[in-house]
Amino acid sequence: MLLSKLLGERFKEKPQEAKSISHIFLLRGGYIRQVSNGIFSMLLPAQKIKTKIEKILREEMDSIQGQEVIFPVVLPGELWQESGRFEAVGSELLRIKDRTNKDLLLAMTHEEAAVHLARSEAKSYTQYPFMIYQIQTKFRDEARSRGGLIRVREFTMKDAYSFHTTEEDLDKYYNKCLEAYNNIYKRAGIPEVICVESDSGMMGGKVAHEFMLLTDIGEDTIVVCDKCEYKSNMEVATGKLEAIKKDEEPIKKVHTPNINTISDIAKYFGVPEEHTLKAAVYNVEGESKPLVIFIRGDLQVNIAKAQKIVKAVLSPFEDYENSDLKFGFIGPYKLDLEKINVLYDKSLEGETNLICGANDTDYHYSGFSIIRDSVAKDFVDISEVKEGQSCPNCEGKLKFKRGIEVGNIFKLGKKYTESMNMTYIDQDGKAKVPIMGCYGIGVGRMIASIIEANNDQYGPIWPISVAPWQIHICALKSKNININDVGKEIYEKLNKKFEVIFDDRGLAPGIQFADADLLGIPVRIILGEKNLKNNQVEIITRDKKIKKLVDLNDVYKEVELIVKMLEDSL
RNA sequence: CGGGGUGUGGCUCAGUUUGGCUAGAGCGCCUGGUUUGGGUCCAGGAGGCCGCAGGUUCGAGUCCUGUCACCCCGACCA
């Protein structure tokens, strides 16, 4: 490729709208252009990177017996009605109508399409297990896209769906896939991606993991133990909770005028916040009674956990005027359970001598002991982990980090196969419902993540496995010799074996170097008058780790060595 | 969906507070020269429905109303 012909202007100003490093360099380097909110076009360099990532994805999926297929982007609404998601999913699902007013949708994920295909093709147990995957456009009408390619509405995703006859078989395959994912990130130059436990969300299923690139601009909070291997998304993270030792005291009603926040109560009674109990009230979708969650005063309710327990969407309860609940003064002692549902967080288990609301405006109780003074029997984990809390598995302390989710894997179980009536005939001649797993990786988000992990102040430093070109030839301008001719000769020779981009523009060296940095090509060959007089050229790697003068006759050999070395390092 | 912000040439922005000549700068682009290992310098040139619609006014980029788009923070995120 001749750089003089490459479309995609590179510029030095920081684009106003871009905040993250990857977004800035993707725009400045002429990789992507925004078309609309969360919708981008990709120019040649980005497209080439994308293709290379896809090649890695294909090889790794094929290596775990995946069969590549392709599903439609536009699906009939009725297919999603089978699984119940046509109604269940909110406005992120873009629903459209065709000319006959029939419901269509732009697929945001393809479980339904996968089951639709698999249920008519895999009717015998002898065909199991199998995995089908595709690399396809997805559309999610995100409430808020951001960060360039990090969170967009239209994107390319590798999604895979495996089908099994037993849980054990799914478990086995799940682990194989987890390994393939680690290979993918390693090969793409982001070996630092870690695998964490995660929430399966409304996808359903019990076990799920996310692959996270730890970086400050990440959207998710990751909880990691400073001693052991415990790693988890905040949504599902747990910490060790032990009852705080306090002497039991008799329960006592105390006048607390206008004191209704935990920090005020703690101050008023002169105790730390963990000696209080608080109530959080939610509306439960499809349920008329509000849900009251009791939790220790120093902790927050983790709504994702709570939603999983009640298996419904929660929203904050606000209608105190038409209820018996006294905002700011709700407590578990002598609470009327007729018109509400109640959950007790694990943090309250065994607690004694707490301050809690008295269900009477401007009054609290002190000396409340959960066993002695309430009907609470079951305690469930609904609390948000706090930084510094003890690890659930060891004596370590939990630390928070930020991460970008670059992939996820789910054990879906029978959620889709059952609702969509997929069966196979087992050895015993009986129809059975297969068990499913699904596995996704966003390609664009991977591009952004690779930049986030590999860059310097001048631009991206592409790992050679995904770099748009392997070699960048800079022919500097000269009055005395026609360097472009020399460059062309080297270009044509190298181009037979490598992917080469040749800067034949003859501009000021600063411009050529700056552009080369923005394109981030791993190996750069610089042709300048001074060195050429001695029959030499300079070879430098984008990360500046190798920088040497090479005899003109040895260029091919030398490049071959460096490329091999870079490839081997991944 | 809530809060904040921005729309002026391809990019970054000034001008809007206090309405007033033909709307500016730098970068980029085109032409000529100059320079030649980290965005050289000089001269000339092209390019703007001032987001859109309506209104006030002798006069609107500037004031008013509406509307659209985009960005940031949050909620949400299969």
Distance A150 CA to B7 C1' (A): 24
Q: What is the DSSP string of A117-145?
A: HHHHH--BGGG-SEEEEEEEEEE---SS-
Strands A277-284 and A291-296: antiparallel
Neighbours of A371 (CB within 10 A): 13
Alpha-carbon span A106 to A457, nearest angstrom? 39
Q: Tell how far CA A48 is from the center of its chain.
A: 23
Which nucleotide across the nucleic acid strands is nearest to A518, CA versus C1'?
Answer: B39
Predicted confidence at residue A531, as pLDDT, reads 94
Alpha-carbon span A325 to A111, nearest angstrom? 42
Which nucleotide across the nucleic acid strands is nearest to A508, CA versus C1'?
Answer: B36
Q: What is the DSSP string of A336-373?
A: --SS-EEEEBGGGTT--SEEEE-SSTTEEEEEE-HHHH
Strands A277-284 and A354-357: unpaired
Alpha-carbon span A457 to A17, nearest angstrom? 18
CB-based contacts of A503: which residues, under 8 Å, 6+ apart? A3, A4, A472, A473, A474, A475, A512, A515, A516
Which nucleotide across the nucleic acid strands is nearest to A524, CA versus C1'?
Answer: B37
Q: What is the DSSP string of A427-495?
A: TTS-EE--EEEEEEEEHHHHHHHHHHHSEETTEE---TTT-S-SEEEEE---SSS-HHHHHHHHHHHHT
C-alpha distance from residue A564 to each of A9, A462, A498 (Å): 31, 15, 11
Residue at the smallest CA–C1' distance to nucleotide B26: A13
Neighbours of A202 (CB within 10 A): 11
Strands A431-432 and A500-503: unpaired
Type of residue at A28:
R
How do residues A175-224 score in pLDDT, each as one tens digit? 999 999 999 999 999 999 999 999 876 556 678 999 999 988 888 999 99
Predicted confidence at residue A18, as pLDDT, reads 86
Distance A506 CA to B43 C1' (A): 22
Distance A37 CA to B65 C1' (A): 27
Distance A31 CA to B34 C1' (A): 33
Which nucleotide across the nucleic acid strands is nearest to A480, CA versus C1'?
Answer: B36
Strands A523-527 and A536-541: antiparallel
Alpha-carbon span A405 to A128, nearest angstrom? 30
Which nucleotide across the nucleic acid strands is nearest to A507, CA versus C1'?
Answer: B36
Which nucleotide across the nucleic acid strands is nearest to A91, CA versus C1'?
Answer: B76
Residue at the smallest CA–C1' distance to nucleotide B37: A509
Pick out chain A residues at pLDDT < 50: none
Predicted confidence at residue A132, as pLDDT, reads 98
Distance A568 CA to B38 C1' (A): 30
User: DSSP letter at A499?
Assistant: -
Distance A78 CA to B64 C1' (A): 50
Residue at the smallest CA–C1' distance to nucleotide B72: A17
Predicted confidence at residue A309, as pLDDT, reads 84
Residue keyed to tokens 């260029």: A555
The enclosing H or E element of A180 equals helix A167-187
Which nucleotide across the nucleic acid strands is nearest to A547, CA versus C1'?
Answer: B37
Distance A353 CA to B22 C1' (A): 82
Distance A154 CA to B4 C1' (A): 27
Predicted confidence at residue A38, as pLDDT, reads 93
The enclosing H or E element of A23 equals helix A21-28
Alpha-carbon span A522 to A541, nearest angstrom? 5
Which nucleotide across the nucleic acid strands is nearest to A544, CA versus C1'?
Answer: B38
Distance A145 CA to B30 C1' (A): 38
Residue at the smallest CA–C1' distance to nucleotide B70: A37
The enclosing H or E element of A311 equals none
Distance A46 CA to B53 C1' (A): 39
* Prediction ipTM score: 0.94
Q: Which two tokens stand for residue A103?
A: 């419901």
CA atoms within 13 A on the CB side of A223: 25
Alpha-carbon span A449 to A63, nearest angstrom? 24
Which nucleotide across the nucleic acid strands is nearest to A405, CA versus C1'?
Answer: B77
Edge-to-edge strand ranges of the sheet holding A547-551: A500-503, A471-475, A523-527, A536-541, A547-551
Nucleotides of B under 7 A from a protein CB: 1-2, 10-13, 26-28, 35-40, 69-78
Distance A14 CA to B12 C1' (A): 8
Distance A13 CA to B8 C1' (A): 18
Residue at the smallest CA–C1' distance to nucleotide B40: A508
pTM of the complete model beyond 0.90: yes
Residue at the smallest CA–C1' distance to nucleotide B29: A9
Distance A37 CA to B57 C1' (A): 38
Q: Which two tokens stand for residue A344?
A: 């007790």
Residue at the smallest CA–C1' distance to nucleotide B13: A16
Which nucleotide across the nucleic acid strands is nearest to A93, CA versus C1'?
Answer: B78
